[in-house]
Structure 1
């Protein structure tokens, strides 16, 4: 009984936290609209987020989990909106369009495959595995800017709000996955904690203080 209560509590809090995490993309897009440019920021985290939430939405219907279905319905809609914003304000529209088209084709092929799997159990397991791999990729996509970050010793190209919220949310879903006994929810969220934790450490390593700046020099 205690475990069920904890599971329900985590289902609600993790859902709210995840939706708030998805909404941090609004801050990124607001800055883009104000500057009328995407700057150094990559659309790949939002494109992979759109793919990830779409896959988990289908997985949520397999396991009949209301929290998973609700969160990923909202997430897929928001990420699609963010991708459209990048398409409008980016000078590299062709690159973003190719990335998005590739993800859309992958999603379509995956859904067709699980729909025609031999049994629902096999379909669930294969979709869970695919969703796990894509989610780990989603957590790791900000790392595409890693070489640039080390080169300029600045984390300006990394979306701090998204990385921080991803760390907190992945921790909640990791515990929720343990309570459900679902390894496909445990594995990506544990790795998500590790990857986003590493990215957060870069903000400390390349903070103004770490560069030797001092308020006395301003």
Structure 2
């Protein structure tokens, strides 16, 4: 195998490993829900948006014929769906959760129908779907920044998850390199904000690291 092929295989493997590690951080929330039989301190929306994001990127991977994208996002979609089902099982107020799920799923299905039925040109479909996935991913990476004001105000990083921050940094960096290697800006560009926000979180951990923060379990944002 040529050096370039080895590098591509290693990079693809890194994307799979780091991304699945990032998705698996949700297992701590799943364990907490099962132990407490409640959804206290567990946010539902990240599970749902990540699931839709996985399904979108899986569609892009299928259209592009990229096995790495398909495998990672198919696995991620299964995990996020599991988290959603467990959350729904223990959630006392199921109607708002079901409404959010139905709304976002409806938007996804409408988008799916548009891309696959109303955009017959394969290249145009690939570009438009790639743009949609990129914008959606960027919005997901930037959304946690809304918590920065509370973190700075309380001078506490208990709202942040250090393992998730590291996993996000490694995942974003590997996918950025993967997109660069493929010459695919739709993969490369949306992962740059993930690197940026991860460094911001690490800076917050360094700045507001206090003894009281180490006495509490870190919570996933």
Matched, 1:181 2:183: yes
Aligned to 1:81: 82
Aligned to 1:158: 160
Matched, 1:68 2:99: no
Instruction: Tell me the TM-score normalised to structure 1 length.
Output: 0.86
Instruction: Tell me the TM-score normalised to structure 2 length.
Output: 0.85
C-alpha deviation, 1:182, in angstroms: 0.2
Moved more, 199-208 or 70-79: 199-208
Q: 1:24 to 1:145 in 2, by over 3 A?
A: same
Aligned to 1:45: 46
Q: Which runs of 5 or more structure 1 residues have no equivalent in the other structure?
A: 214-218
Aligned to 1:31: 32
Q: 1:194 to 1:27 in 2, by over 3 A?
A: same
Equivalences for 1:64-213 in 2 at 5 Å? 64-91=65-92, 93-116=94-117, 117-209=119-211
Moved more, 76-85 or 192-201: 192-201
C-alpha deviation, 1:91, in angstroms: 4.7
| Counterpart Cα distance in 2 of 1:91 and 1:112 | 34
Give yes or no for contact 1:14–1:173 (8 Å, CA) kept in 2: yes
Q: Deviations over 1:134-164 (max 9, x none)?
A: 1112223433444443443333333433332
Aligned residues: 212
Q: Which runs of 5 or more structure 2 residues have no equivalent in the other structure?
A: 216-221
Give yes or no for contact 2:55–2:77 (8 Å, CA) kept in 1: yes
Moved more, 126-135 or 152-161: 152-161
